[in-house]
Amino acid sequence: MSDSAVDLEAEQYEKHREAGAILAQVRQEAADRVEVGVSHLEVAEYAEDRIRELGGQPAFPVNISIDEEAAHRTPTIDDESTFGEEMINLDIGVHVDGWLADTAITVDLSGNPELAEASEQALEAALDLVEPGVNTGDIGAEIEDVIDGYGYNPVVNLTGHGLGHWEQHTSPNIPNRAVSQGTTLEVGDVVAIEPFATDGGGKVTEGSSEEIYSLEREASVRNRQARDALAQITEEFRTLPFATRWLETDRPEMALRRLKRRNVVHGYPVLKEDEGYLVSQKEHTVIVTEDGCEVTTADW
C-alpha cells in the first residue's frame, strides 16, 4: 500500500472516530431530554442541531420509534406529538465528511425495564465476540441467545450493517439471530451492531407512513419545487437519508411526491411490530481491530 493510501486510510478512521465521539455525547444529551410531555420534534431538532454545533452532520434524521415501532419514524415538519408512558427508541447517526457512526438507545417510560435491558445486554455480549475471523452468524446466535434468556424474541428481519463512505448500510449484515451462512469480519471493517428485542413475534412489517427518503438516481425535473429539492438533496445529503422537514423549498411534500413518482428518491416506511407489543433497541458502531474492536460510540 502506498504512503498516500495509508494516509487516506488513517484519515478515514479518524473521521469515523470523530463522528462516534460526537454521537456518544449527543445520544446521552438527547436521551436525557426524553420525558413525558416533551415534544418529539423538540428532541429530534435538538439532537440534529447539536450534532452540527459539535462539528458533524446528521447521517440521517433522528429516528424516534414509539412502542411497537422499530425504525424509520421521524417527526414531521409540524409534528405536535409528545412523549407518554411509552417505550422510546432513539436512533441517531453522525457523519464527518461522509464517514459515519450510528447508535441507538432505548428510553423506557413504559415500565418494562427488562425488555430494554435485553437489547442492551445482547449488544454487550455481541461486542465481546467481535474480532477478526469471527463469523457474523455467531454474533447473531449470541444476540438471539441473550434475548431469549430474558424471555423475549429478537427482531429477525432487522440487522446490523457495515458503514461506508456516504453509505449508511453496506455489507456485512450483522444478524440478530443465528444464521448458517454469515460473513467473516476482517481488520478495518466498520460495522454497526444493533440488537432489537420484542415481546411480540419478532418480525416487523412496513407501515403506511413515510417521512424519511434518500436519493435513488439523478434526473432532470421541470417543476421548480422538485428541482430545488433535488439540488439540495444531491449537494447536501448525497446518498444519505433525509427528512421532509430538512428541505428548504416551499411545498416540500409536493416536491417529494413528484421526485418519488419519477423514482428519483425512495422512501423508508415506518417499520412496526404488531400493535400492542413493544420493541427495544441498543446500537454501537465499532472498528474491527487486530485484537478485538474499538467502539467509536462508547461513552465509557
For 93-116, write each residue's pLDDT tens digit: 999 999 999 999 999 999 999 999
- Residue 237 has which C-alpha cell? 445529503
Say which CATH class 211-269 falls into. Answer: mainly alpha
Distance separating alpha carbons of residues 74 and 66, to the nearest angstrom: 10
Of 67, 144, 194, 210, the active-site residue reads 194
pLDDT, residue 9, reads 80
- Residue 221 has which C-alpha cell? 425535473
pLDDT, residue 6, reads 44
pLDDT, residue 299, reads 84
pLDDT under 50 in the chain at which residues? 1-6, 8
Residue 16 bears catalytic tag: no
Q: Can you name the CATH fold of 3-204+275-295?
A: Creatine Amidinohydrolase (3.90.230)
Of 108, 161, 228, 273, the active-site residue reads 161
pLDDT, residue 7, reads 52
Question: Which residues face 242 on adjacent strands?
Answer: 213
Q: Domain locations in the chain?
A: 3-204+275-295, 211-269
Annotated binding residues for a divalent metal cation: 91, 102, 161, 194, 283
pLDDT, residue 300, reads 61
Annotated binding residues: 72, 91, 102, 161, 169, 194, 283
pLDDT, residue 10, reads 86
Of 48, 102, 108, 210, the active-site residue reads 102
In the sheet with 57-66, reading across from the earlier edge strand, the strands are 57-66, 87-96, 99-108
pTM of the shown model: 0.95
Name the DSSP class of 246.
G
Of 18, 48, 91, 211, the active-site residue reads 91
Residue 161 bears catalytic tag: yes
